[in-house]
Amino acid sequence: MSYRLVIDARESGTSTGRYIDKLVEYLHKLEPAFDTVVLSKPDRINYLKSVAPDFKIVASPYKEFTFAEQLGFARQLYKLRADLVHFNAPQQPLLYFGRSVTTVHDLTTARFNNPVKNWAIYKTKQLVYKAVVFLVARKAKKIIAISKYVKNDLASFAKINTSKISVIYEAADKITEPPEKMPRLNSLNFLMYVGRPAPHKNLKRLVEALEILIQTRPDLKLVLAGKNDANYQKIQKFVEKKSLTSQVIFTGFVSEGQLRWLYENCRAYVFPSLSEGFGLPALEAMAHGAPVVSSSATCLPEIYGSAALYFDPLEVSDIAAKIGQVLDSPNLRNQLVASGQAQVAKYSWDKTAGQTLEIYKNILR
């Protein structure tokens, strides 16, 4: 008997969607004995076909947190007659009652506000999200958490037994694109951060730490890489208020080649986040030989082990002090680079896909 597996890949191409993109790609390599259907936003169909040509890729234009997701997406799933659906996030049709697995990346949406969104609308969505997580935790046959921290956090939040949750780590691949030099940054001493600028990413305190560091290192720069949006514009105004516009460089969106060059040429990768489910960017930085200075919050010590130097993300002076240690000690820098390479090797997308496939098989037996 051939079972039909449906994978919800509507988040393909986003930062969270990196997980589902890699899972589909590496699961395809394992040649699972399922009739596998991957549901994708229309603009990602060609990409998914390129990495998983033997899977059936089907358009699914239903946006999260909409009535279309609750009704249209549920209708699509029932029509597909899936034996098992793997949802990439708790955002899913509550009226779908077939067998399912759900991956939970973190509970950040439940814990932090977004100041650039309409307050009333965001609070409503936040309440809906909390309710959805609570219900999905009961409805799913199995929950996949991407760290032990998320497993315990979810079990406590949703009041479910930890035995229902399996931890399957993500991984960090080296970028295959050749490094693309960024001329205006060449020959500069710079720290870097890449990613979203949401409030829980704690970038204001990182800017304040830079303010301390440049008192004795006036040539030091901070590079913030990521698509310019309303939250980054708030950080830009904060930088202007601090009179640090010549020290903080906003690159906007960077290509894979540019990102590789940044990782390979920064003095340190700094990750000041207050809340993460896995912390993939700093692991990617390690893969490219960057020493990592990281927040000690949530899952980060679990994922990075002894390969990062940790600071209290709420203490600006501690952030500055730990960055300063790395800048001032070649031996510490070299130690972190070597430890980072060893830490990255502990994770692989092959392992992620293999462990996920075993969950599918156990449910369908």
Any idea what the Cα angle at residue 268 is, between residues 21 and 220, rounded to 5°? 130
Q: Mean pLDDT in the chain?
A: 95
The pLDDT confidence band at residue 15, using thresholds 50, 70 and 90, is: confident
pLDDT for the residue numbered 66: 87
Encode pLDDT of 68-95 as tens digits.
999 999 999 999 999 999 999 999 999 9
Encode pLDDT of 320-346 as tens digits.
999 999 999 999 999 999 999 999 999
Any idea what the Cα angle at residue 5 is, between residues 10 and 86, rounded to 5°? 45
Q: Are residues 316 and 214 in the same domain?
A: yes
Q: Alpha helices of the chain — where are they, by DSSP H? A: 17-29, 45-51, 67-68, 74-80, 108-111, 119-139, 148-158, 203-213, 230-241, 256-265, 280-287, 300-304, 316-328, 330-344, 349-364
Q: How many CB atoms within 10 Å of residue 53?
A: 9
Encode pLDDT of 266-313 as tens digits.
999 999 999 999 999 999 999 999 999 999 999 999 999 999 999 999
Encode pLDDT of 123-159 as tens digits.
888 888 899 999 999 999 999 999 999 999 999 999 9
> Is 14 contained in some domain?
yes
Number of domains the chain contains: 2
pLDDT for the residue numbered 22: 96
Give the pLDDT mean for 181-205: 94
Q: Are residues 216 and 229 in the same domain?
A: yes
Give the pLDDT mean for 355-365: 96
Using the structure block, give the residue that is written with the tokens 């597909």: 80
* Residue-range definition of the domain harbouring residue 69: 3-171+348-364
Q: Are residues 151 and 188 in the same domain?
A: no
Q: For residue 115, what is the domain's CATH number?
A: 3.40.50.2000
Q: Are residues 131 and 229 in the same domain?
A: no
Give the pLDDT mean for 44-63: 97
Q: Are residues 360 and 301 in the same domain?
A: no
> Is 177 contained in some domain?
no
